[in-house]
Amino acid sequence: MPAKLIEHLDNHAAEHDYTGRSEVVRESARTLLTEFDGTRLKDEALAGVVSVCYDFGVRRHASSDRRHRNRRLLARAAGVGQFRDA
């Protein structure tokens, strides 16, 4: 492991009250593996934002159909128009 990384781990451990760099590495590894495991947020309510940009008036966009099909999952849907000078 590069000396600079070891120094960074030691500093992080000291600043955040870890017992040492080994504890930092263990916790980091657990967190990383949990992210890829997919179970960490399994039973949690999640939220997200989807932004779609397309030319207004060309045709009804497919995202509009998807939004209507899944409206029971949505807390809020909003449309914002941006018009450019002709």
Closest CA to 80 of 38, 50, 40, 43: 50
pTM confidence score: 0.44
3-class secondary-structure state, position 57 = coil
49-73: per-residue pLDDT in tens? 777 676 666 656 666 777 778 778 7
Closest CA to 74 of 85, 83, 82, 63: 63
Q: Please give the structure tokens belonging to residue 54.
A: 């397309």
Domain boundaries, the chain: 3-37
pLDDT at res. 58: 61
